[in-house]
């Protein structure tokens, strides 16, 4: 049950209504953590006369081009067969489903629009993208392009962005709603639901004011106060957690758990997309018992649903990560990389974990990994520009980031990168990253210590 939010629900209802009538459009929900963006998306996604497609930005994939778009569209990709060949090819290539040149962004965006319009010939389509601040740039760029051209298709796009975190999401041309706190009566109703009959009106007032009506902060407050405090018979503590302080509250809660539980929470946080199997394998590698994941000790922080594990709230995830020391985080990423070793399709994700672990050569050896043997003179043939590109990408930069640093276009970066791959006799970014971490002297940024020089 959602309290308040009449204006927001009406705006979403208007968008869905006009989409049913063939005039699609987009709407962006922005706001602080816990303010209720996902809750509104969830309500919209229950529209059962729509084909609903959903995706959510995931930190571990935010550097992988088109990962979010793939999440959104994978269930309807069959429809690409009915698009003009160039568009279908662009989609297959963008999603890495076919060996081909990286397609131009414009072509991919046009193909996404065409695919959605194709899917919408049966029933209207609602695309829901949560946590867009963690989505990859190319996906959001394509979706923004699509959003500006929906007036003639029964397709609606709803996007939620957490304010002040992750990447800046470009939503030019999309109408936006900025969510503020619930009004005092709605805050009181939420508190009332949460704590039963014994809530004093004056306490409800105080909590509504001190939390600014942030639903998550209200829920936390209701859960952390005693029955006597809620009933107004005991005084309230000096300060009730505000939304900004919630993360700190979770960090505290996590630090009071057993070391094994903390290690598991960190693994789930570092893994980031909820694959219970991968987390479980990594846990075993670290000597932690994966069964603990589903135990009562973690029940207030984690939800396990079939093969998926998720935090009860995204703030718990960042708190679990923050609560850990840098070396524990590195160990977690290394264990996850190792857990993904057998999965060929996950090579990029694996490389990302290795990069997060800033794995030096010793750690690579510990995971059974080594830089591939290659002709030692191969890298000598790189031009200065190729070398710059190789260094940046080898340190984990996306094409976009490398482009921005070198004042080149992402397309030019891609061009140089292909040459680097050919000359270095490698075929993926992960191998390039490994070369950098293996301390290849040529790839060492000028003036930097190679990881192996200090060991
Ligand atoms: N209007 C509401 N009435 C009742 N409960 C609400 C309302 N809005 C949000 N909640 C509850 O508050 C909690 C936080 O909401 P939600 O997860 O939607 O926040 P969010 O804006 O998506 O936060 P984040 O940026 O961290 O993803 C959830 O448990 C949700 O069910
Ligand atoms: Mg959310």
Ligand 1 geometric centre to CA of 231 (Å): 25
Closest ligand 1 atom number to CA of residue 131: 27
Cβ of residue 35 lying under 6 Å from some atom of ligand 1: yes
Model pLDDT, residue 434: 65
Question: Smallest Cα–Cα separation from 159: which of 77, 173, 112?
Answer: 173
* Ligand 1 atom 30 nearest Cα: 39
Angle subtended at Cα 371 by Cα 369 and Cα 377, rounded to the nearest 5 degrees: 170
Alpha-carbon span 364 to 10, nearest angstrom: 54
Q: What is the b/e burial string over 58-86, where b = at least 16 CB atoms within 10 angstroms of the residue's CB?
A: bbbbbbbbbbbbbbbbeebbebbeebeee
Ligand nearest to the CA of 1: 1
Cα(402)–Cα(89) distance, integer angstroms: 26
Q: Is the CB of 33 under 6 A from ligand 1?
A: yes
| Residue 408 and residue 414 in contact, taking contact as beta carbons nearer than 8 Å | no
d(CA 262, CA 251): 10
Q: Where does 292-441 have alpha helices with state H?
A: 314-323, 326-339, 347-356, 361-366, 384-394, 399-406, 410-424, 429-437
Identify which of 10, 32, 33, 38 to mutate to test ligand 1's pocket (most ligand atoms within 8 A of the CB).
Answer: 38
The pLDDT value recorded for residue 373 is 43
Which atom of ligand 1 is the closest one to the Cα of 33?
25
- Summarised one tens digit per residue, pLDDT across range 24-72 is 999 999 998 889 999 999 999 999 999 999 999 988 888 899 999 999 9
Query: Distances in Å between the alpha carbon of 2 and those of 35, 182, 187, 199?
Result: 12, 10, 11, 19
Distance from the alpha carbon of residue 37 to the mean position of ligand 1, in angstroms: 6
Q: Which atom of ligand 1 is nearest to the CA of 162?
A: 25
Question: What's the pLDDT at 410?
Answer: 84
Q: Is the CB of 4 under 6 A from ligand 1?
A: yes
pLDDT digits (tens), the chain, 455 positions: 899 999 999 999 999 999 999 999 999 999 988 899 999 999 999 999 999 999 999 888 888 999 999 999 999 999 999 999 999 999 999 998 887 787 899 999 999 999 999 999 999 999 999 999 999 999 999 999 999 999 999 999 999 999 867 678 888 889 999 999 999 999 999 999 988 778 999 999 998 988 889 999 899 888 888 889 999 999 887 666 665 677 787 888 899 899 999 999 999 999 988 999 999 999 998 889 999 999 999 998 999 999 999 998 777 888 898 888 888 888 899 899 889 987 777 888 888 888 887 644 443 444 444 434 445 566 677 777 888 888 888 766 778 888 888 888 888 888 888 888 888 878 777 667 666 655 566 666 554 443 333 33
CA within 13 Å, CB half, 181: 20
The confidence score (pLDDT) of residue 58 equals 87
Residue 139 Cβ < 6 Å to ligand 1: no
**What's residue 369's pLDDT?**
42
What pLDDT, on a 0 to 100 scale, did the predictor assign at position 438? Answer: 56
Residue keyed to tokens 């709230």 = 313
Say if ligand 1 is within 6 A of residue 315 CB: yes
Ligand 1 contact, 213 CB (< 6 A): no
- Ligand 2 centre to CA of 88 (Å) is 32
**Distance (Å, whole) CA 23 – CA 184:** 36
- Output the pLDDT for position 136: 94
Choose one of 12, 35, 36, 189 to mutate for the ligand 1 pocket test, by most ligand atoms within 8 angstroms of C-beta.
36
pLDDT of residue 346: 80
């Amino acid at each position: 049950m959602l309290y308040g939010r009449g204006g927001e629900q009406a705006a979403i209802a208007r968008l869905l209504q006009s989409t049913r009538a063939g005039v699609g459009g987009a709407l962006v929900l922005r706001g602080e953590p816990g303010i209720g963006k996902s809750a509104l998306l969830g309500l919209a996604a229950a529209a059962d006369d729509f084909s609903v497609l959903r995706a959510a930005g995931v930190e571990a994939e935010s550097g992988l081009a088109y990962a979010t778009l793939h999440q959104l569209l994978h269930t309807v990709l069959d429809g690409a067969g009915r698009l003009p060949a160039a568009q279908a090819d662009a989609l297959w290539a963008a999603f890495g489903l076919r060996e081909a040149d990286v397609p131009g962004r414009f072509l991919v965006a046009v193909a996404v629009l065409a695919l959605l319009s194709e899917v919408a010939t049966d029933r209207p389509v609602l695309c829901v993208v949560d946590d867009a601040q963690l989505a990859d740039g190319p996906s959001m760029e394509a979706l923004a392009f699509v959003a500006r051209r929906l007036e003639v298709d029964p397709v609606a796009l709803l996007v939620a962005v957490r304010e002040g975190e992750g990447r800046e999401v470009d939503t030019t041309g999309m109408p936006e709603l900025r969510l503020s706190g619930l009004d005092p009566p709605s805050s009181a109703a939420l508190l009332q639901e949460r704590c039963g009959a014994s809530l004093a009106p004056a306490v409800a007032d105080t909590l509504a004011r001190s939390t600014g009506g942030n639903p998550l902060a209200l829920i936390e407050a209701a859960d952390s106060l005693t029955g006597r405090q809620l009933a107004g018979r005991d005084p309230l503590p000096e300060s009730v957690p505000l939304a900004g302080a919630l993360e700190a509250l979770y960090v505290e809660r996590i630090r009071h758990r057993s070391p094994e539980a903390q290690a598991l929470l960190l693994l789930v946080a570092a893994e980031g997309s909820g694959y219970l199997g991968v987390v479980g394998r990594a846990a075993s590698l670290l000597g932690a018992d994966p069964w603990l994941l589903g135990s009562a000790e973690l029940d207030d922080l984690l939800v396990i649903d079939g093969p998926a594990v998720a935090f009860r709230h995204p703030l718990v995830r960042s708190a679990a990560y923050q609560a850990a020391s840098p070396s524990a985080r590195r160990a977690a990423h290394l264990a996850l990389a190792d857990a993904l070793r057998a999965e060929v399709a996950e090579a990029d994700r694996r490389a990302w974990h290795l990069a997060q672990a800033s794995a030096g050569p010793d750690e690579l050896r510990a995971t059974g990994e080594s830089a591939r043997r290659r002709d030692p003179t191969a890298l000598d043939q790189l031009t200065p520009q190729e070398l710059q590109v190789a260094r940046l990408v080898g340190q984990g930069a996306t094409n976009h980031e490398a482009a921005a640093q070198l004042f080149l276009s992402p397309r030019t970066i891609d061009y140089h990168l292909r040459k680097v791959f050919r000359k270095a006799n490698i075929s993926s970014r992960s191998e390039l990253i490994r070369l950098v971490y293996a301390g290849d002297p040529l790839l060492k940024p000028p003036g930097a210590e190679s990881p192996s020089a200090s060991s």
